[in-house]
Chain A
Amino acid sequence: MKFDEIQLRLLEEVADLHGVPEGAYNIRSDSEAVGRRSTEHIVITSKKDVSGIDIEIMPGTKNESVHIPVVMTKSGLKETVYNDFYVGEGADVLIVAGCGIDNCGTGDSEHDGVHRFFLKKGAKVRYVEKHYGSGTGKGKRILNPVTEAYLEEGAEMTMEMVQIKGVDDTERTTVAKLAAGAKLVVRERLMTHDDQRALSRYDVILDGEGASADVVSRSVARGTSFQKFDAKITGNAPSYGHTECDSIIMDQGKILAVPGLQANHIDASLLHEAAIGKIAGDQLIKLMTLGLTEQEAEEQIINGFLR
């Protein structure tokens, strides 16, 4: 499998890959599967009815990873892809997804990935998803990911979702349903610039006793960009839910944070925190007393914040 320079750069940005990854993988480039490997414990097959793949992870699979990066380098492509992950009982795996779009043309490029995760009892998944756009064309780079997670008893899922640069328009939808003792941790990092738009919506339902969710988004809106963070947690059982939206606005950026908590059980404990503001003046001055210029100080603060 040979990659050109743009493909390699996108793969590095979205999946830290410098070529073919270890373990199981499926690499999709310009709407075609360009490489795939299943392993003894992780089997990847193409879907028959729609575009996409099924990933089956056998029960008890430990310390293995699946990489499923997507790169788009042709202008004007639009695709919707369905990927379903079936994670067996007691498995503990790392799943790295991500999409990089390089659009130098005039047509909009759009990748809408629908990822569904079915975690059996006690399964553990760390899911890392990076989105990145580049290219100087007038065509937009559009990503509309839908992530659904269904966690059985005692299953745990950590999602790290990052979109730092170059995506013009995004609507992210994340839906999760947790059974007893299941645990969901979400860490979202988002930066928008120029006239970009990003909507991020979460709908987490805590259905079983002892289920817990911790959804934390840190974001920066620069230029004239707009972001909306809409996080809802519903507690239907004795459970714990926390959402946090912590945002920095710069230039003429705009952010709307919409907290949503619904407790349907007397022992559901739900908490929402939201803070939006510009970089604190004392933070800039502090770093300037250490010798940084105002601009350097700003960069350090933002880099740390989005780490």
Chain B
Amino acid sequence: MLELKNVCFSVPGEDGKKKEIIRDISLTLEDGKLAVITGPNGGGKSTLARLIMGIEKPTSGKIFYNGEDITDLSVTDRAKKGVSFAFQQPVKFKGLKVLDLLRIASGKRLAVGDACRYLSAVGLCARDYIDRELNASLSGGELKRIEIAQILSRATKLSIFDEPEAGIDLWSFNNLIKVFEDMRRDIEDGSIIIISHQERILNVADEIIVISGGKVERKGSKEEILPSLLGSASVLNFCTGASGKEDV
């Protein structure tokens, strides 16, 4: 179970005053749930995900994971406790290969056959990719799918995906939905957080959290929240994924 208590996050603004990105967010995510965080661009969704992973540290407030205060834990320690994070813009590496990353992610000397299984699950012909370097020779969509394959190979209790649909073509998108449906089915006592604007991703959610202006605007079951969202174009911005712009 993940719990955020009065989490605030601010950065120095251009005018010297502090700019509040997250304003006093308190949230609880029960085990066995798939939650989708949605909301307008610049509303603080990605920052919230980065705070949970430990990439950013809250200015104030606490984060608890399975009852333990993880607010001051490093990214590494949180990863070891079973938190995974799929980046909105996958990081490139010169020299490191797809298989290397899958092995690091799984934490063991993954057999090539197993690594291929994760790549196939995200719609990549594994044979063609396993020895490829994770560099600019791969397209944005390929990198994104490899990023998701790493999360699958980690098989942790809490998986966070920051706009997984960004940069993914339509064919892969169908695959992606299936990946999330499968993960949802096998969730048991784990949980999944997806940051997304996509209706079809919202549709696989148990719970939807709408973040706007650094605050939780609404939170509830898919049945409660989704109908109102679909009528509100200002909240759901379908173009964001294609633009590739980083959300804050």
A289 near B84 with CB under 8 A, answer yes
A290 near B104 with CB under 8 A, answer yes
Name the residue among A246, A280, A293, A303 with the largest chain B CB count within 10 angstroms: A293
Q: Which residues in chain B, 66-103, are within 8 Å of chain A measured between CB atoms?
A: 74-76, 79-80, 84-85, 87, 91, 93-97, 100-101
B79 near A288 with CB under 8 A, answer yes
A291 near B85 with CB under 8 A, answer no
In the complex, whether A2 has a CB less than 8 A from a CB of chain B is no
Minimum CB–CB distance from B229 to chain A (whole Å) comes to 29
A305 near B94 with CB under 8 A, answer yes
Minimum CB–CB distance from B8 to chain A (whole Å) comes to 22
In the complex, whether B210 has a CB less than 8 A from a CB of chain A is no
Q: Which residues in chain B, 196-235, are within 8 Å of chain A measured between CB atoms?
A: none
Q: Which residues in chain A, 274-289, are within 8 Å of chain B measured between CB atoms?
A: 280, 282-283, 285-289
* Complex Cα gap A306–B85 (Å): 27
In the complex, whether B47 has a CB less than 8 A from a CB of chain A is no
Contact of A304 with B95 at beta-carbon distance under 8 Å, contacts A285-B55, A290-B104, A292-B104 already known: yes
Per-position 1/0 for B91-129, Cβ under 8 A of A: 101111100110011010000000000000000000000
A293 near B104 with CB under 8 A, answer no
* Complex Cα gap A228–B74 (Å): 37
Complex: chain A residue closest to B156, CB-CB: A291
A304 near B94 with CB under 8 A, answer yes
A290 near B105 with CB under 8 A, answer yes
In the complex, whether B57 has a CB less than 8 A from a CB of chain A is no
Size category, B interface? 20 to 34
* Complex Cα gap A301–B134 (Å): 12
In the complex, whether B53 has a CB less than 8 A from a CB of chain A is yes
B96 near A301 with CB under 8 A, answer yes
Contact of A286 with B91 at beta-carbon distance under 8 Å, contacts A291-B79, A291-B107, A294-B76 already known: yes
A290 near B96 with CB under 8 A, answer no
User: Which B residues touch A303, using CB under 8 A?
Assistant: 95
Minimum CB–CB distance from A250 to chain B (whole Å) comes to 15
A288 near B75 with CB under 8 A, answer yes
A293 near B95 with CB under 8 A, answer no
Name the residue among A246, A283, A285, A303 with the largest chain B CB count within 10 angstroms: A285
User: Which B residues touch A246, using CB under 8 A?
Assistant: 94
In the complex, whether A307 has a CB less than 8 A from a CB of chain B is yes
A289 near B93 with CB under 8 A, answer no
Partner of B85, one of A283, A289, A294, A300: A289
B55 near A301 with CB under 8 A, answer no
* Complex Cα gap A285–B95 (Å): 17
* Complex Cα gap A307–B97 (Å): 10
In the complex, whether B154 has a CB less than 8 A from a CB of chain A is yes
Complex: chain B residue closest to A283, CB-CB: B91
A282 near B91 with CB under 8 A, answer yes
User: Which B residues touch A291, using CB under 8 A?
Assistant: 76, 79-80, 104, 107, 154
Minimum CB–CB distance from A282 to chain B (whole Å) comes to 5
Minimum CB–CB distance from B137 to chain A (whole Å) comes to 14
* Complex Cα gap A305–B79 (Å): 24
A306 near B150 with CB under 8 A, answer no
Complex: chain B residue closest to A294, CB-CB: B76
A289 near B79 with CB under 8 A, answer yes
Q: Which residues in chain A, 235-255, are within 8 Å of chain B measured between CB atoms?
A: 246
User: Which B residues touch A287, using CB under 8 A?
Assistant: 104
B74 near A288 with CB under 8 A, answer yes
B100 near A300 with CB under 8 A, answer yes
Partner of A304, one of B74, B91, B93, B105: B93
User: Which B residues touch A218, using CB under 8 A?
Assistant: 94-95
Minimum CB–CB distance from B108 to chain A (whole Å) comes to 11
Contact of A304 with B76 at beta-carbon distance under 8 Å, contacts A289-B53, A289-B84, A289-B85 already known: no
Minimum CB–CB distance from A238 to chain B (whole Å) comes to 27
Complex: chain A residue closest to B133, CB-CB: A304
B93 near A301 with CB under 8 A, answer yes
Name the residue among B76, B87, B96, B104 with the largest chain A CB count within 10 angstroms: B76
Which A residues form the contact surface with B (CB < 8 A)?
Answer: 218, 246, 280, 282-283, 285-294, 300-301, 303-307
Which 9 pairs between the two chains have the least Cβ-Cβ distance? Answer: A304-B95, A304-B96, A286-B91, A291-B79, A288-B75, A305-B95, A289-B85, A288-B76, A307-B95
Q: List 16 A-B contacts (CB under 8 A).
A: A280-B91, A282-B91, A286-B91, A287-B104, A289-B75, A289-B84, A290-B101, A290-B150, A291-B76, A291-B79, A291-B107, A292-B104, A294-B76, A303-B95, A304-B96, A305-B94
A sample of 4 more A-B contacts (CB under 8 A), given A290-B154, A303-B95, A305-B93, is A286-B87, A288-B76, A289-B87, A307-B95
